[in-house]
Amino acid sequence: FNVIERTGIRPRVDPRLKDFIINTQKYIKKYGKESDTIDNLNVDEATFTKLTEQSLVLLSQALRNDVIIPEFSTFSKQIQSIFNRCKYNTTGTPASYIPQLAKVNPELWAMSLCTVDGQRYSLGSVHKNFTLQSCSKPFTYSLCLNELGAEVVHGYIGQEPS
């Protein structure tokens, strides 16, 4: 799993690999030694093929490092650096006129990303719930641009060169 995890794919929690994980765990329970785990299991080629058949494309892509960000470790370090620099920007205050924002601890700081290939990286207080508020606007705008095109979207809303 370490080879796959180095690509940014998280095999233990990636829903696309759920069947692979379940099949491997069943195999270990049925045929494995007491010391076998999903991390140290050695199987022959036929067994490996059987265990991976439903996830073979994704696993092959990850093992070949054929992903959108091949140097994921370097990329992650750059993201960590940006995260750390931004973490100490404590200027401003939460909007008190929005009750959901007024209740939030301003010390919480998190960042998560996921590429189109499913490479994921998270930092900080990622398990805390939060309200999107205006953060959702770029996503909505991007979705509309993709679905409707710039001409239609900009017929309804303006744009600024920022």
Of all helices (H) and strands (E), which one includes residue 2?
helix 2-5
Interacting residues of 158 by C-beta distance below 8 A, sequence separation 6+: none
Alpha carbon distance 118, 72 (integer Å): 12
pTM score: 0.77
Question: Smallest Cα–Cα separation from 80: which of 108, 105, 110?
Answer: 110
pLDDT at 63: 92
Residue 160 reports pLDDT greater than 60: yes
User: 119: how many CB neighbours lie within 10 A of its CB?
Assistant: 21
Pick from 1-10, 63-72, 78-87, 127-136: least confident: 127-136
Q: pLDDT at position 93, please?
A: 84
Place of tokens 């067994």: 47
Q: Burial of 85 by CB count in 10 Å (0-12 exposed, 13-18 middle, 19+ buried)?
A: exposed
Would you state the structure tokens that stand for residue 8, as one six-digit string? 């940014």
Residue in the block written with tokens 């641009």:
145
User: How much is the pLDDT for 92?
Assistant: 85
Quickly list H helices, 17-156.
18-31, 45-52, 56-63, 72-87, 99-102, 136-148, 150-154
